[in-house]
């Protein structure tokens, strides 16, 4: 699977940005739901194989199979550090988006493991209080 291209026509952006274009191209329907479902299925398969979930970085690597993000999203106008910051932001946004869709579950700050589907936070809180 590759990063989506910016073929969005539903609205115009004031400034073209390669990372924003990749984000919009990745979540744009009909491919957005398919990519989210793919992430959920990969997370489930990861659990079956390893007994735990992938990290966000491992899930991104499995979903997109991209070795060189700098080549995948060309942005010569930014310094290397800024490109890495933009890539991190893009990946965090995708994890958040897939979580909102319910295909994966991830709670930033809790741990770094991605889980399949939604987590019932109240059930986990009740279990912790009972221990």
Q: For 88-131, write each residue's pLDDT tens digit.
A: 999 999 999 999 999 999 999 898 999 998 655 554 444 445 55
**Looking at the domain assignment, is residue 41 inside a domain?**
yes
**Looking at the domain assignment, is residue 2 inside a domain?**
no
* Residue 131 CB contacts under 8 Å (≥ 6 apart), including other chains: none
**Looking at the domain assignment, is residue 4 inside a domain?**
no
**Looking at the domain assignment, is residue 1 inside a domain?**
no
Give the structural domain span for 56.
Answer: 18-130
User: What is the rounded CA–CA span in Å between residue 124 and residue 54?
Assistant: 20
| Cβ contact 26:4 at 8 Å | yes
**Looking at the domain assignment, is residue 79 inside a domain?**
yes
Indicate the pLDDT class of residue 61, thresholds 50, 70 and 90: very high
User: What is the rounded CA–CA span in Å between residue 51 and residue 69?
Assistant: 28
- Number of structural domains, the chain? 1
**Looking at the domain assignment, is residue 72 inside a domain?**
yes
Q: What 8-state DSSP symbol labels residue 76?
A: T
**Looking at the domain assignment, is residue 9 inside a domain?**
no
User: Coil, strand, or helix at residue 78?
Assistant: coil
**Looking at the domain assignment, is residue 8 inside a domain?**
no
| Cβ contact 72:3 at 8 Å | yes
């Amino acid at each position: 699977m590759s990063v989506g291209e910016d073929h969005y026509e539903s609205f115009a952006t004031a400034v073209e940005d390669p990372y924003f274009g990749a984000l919009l191209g990745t979540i744009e329907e009909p491919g957005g739901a398919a990519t989210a479902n793919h992430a959920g299925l990969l997370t489930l398969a990861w659990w079956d194989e390893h007994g735990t979930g992938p990290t966000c970085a491992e899930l991104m690597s499995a979903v997109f199979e991209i070795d060189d993000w700098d080549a995948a999203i060309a942005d010569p106008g930014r310094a290397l550090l800024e490109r890495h910051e933009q890539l991190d932001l893009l990946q965090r946004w995708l994890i958040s988006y897939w979580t909102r869709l319910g295909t994966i579950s991830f709670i930033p700050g809790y741990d770094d493991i991605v889980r399949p589907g939604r987590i019932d936070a109240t059930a986990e809180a009740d279990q912790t209080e009972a221990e």
